[in-house]
Amino acid sequence: MTETVVEVSDEQILRALLAEEDVSNRAVSLMLGVQDRRVDEVRKRVGLPSYVRGRRPIYGSWLEAFTAQSESVEGGHRRWTGTREKCGTPVVRHRASIQTAYRVAFRLHHGREPQGKVSQSCEIPGCVAGEHQRDRLIREALKAGEAR
């Protein structure tokens, strides 16, 4: 009798990690039939924090999650102190969702979803201040002379 091996993708592991607010590597590995180490590798690759037993802060809103993981610095800039993806991009986790800190900052400051890519308007690397984020609509308006 031959055993059928089912390949589990990193995307499936990530979906399982994000399906619940606080799920352990062990729970995902048992559910999908993969090694704990593989789940941990996927978690690290996408910048999810390591699983820690016990209570973690549960944020009531995107604003609360964003402000708890960033700090104001001189000149109206904001430094990210929270989780980052492997490539260094700051990310905000709220409930089962993850978004870049840039998109969250834009939405909190401008009161709408950003259109297209979000880019910084200041020269401070990694600044996540909402007023320093531009989307496609703002860049197009500035290019057309409708300075915002």
pTM: 0.62
Name the band, by pLDDT with cuts 50, 70 and 90, for residue 16: confident
pLDDT digits (tens, 9 = 90+) for 88-114: 889 998 877 889 999 999 999 999 999
- What CA–CA distance (Å, rounded) separates 1 from 7? 19
Count of residues for the chain? Answer: 148
Amino acid identity for residue 48 in this structure: L
The pLDDT assigned to 100 comes to: 94
- What CA–CA distance (Å, rounded) separates 148 from 142? 7
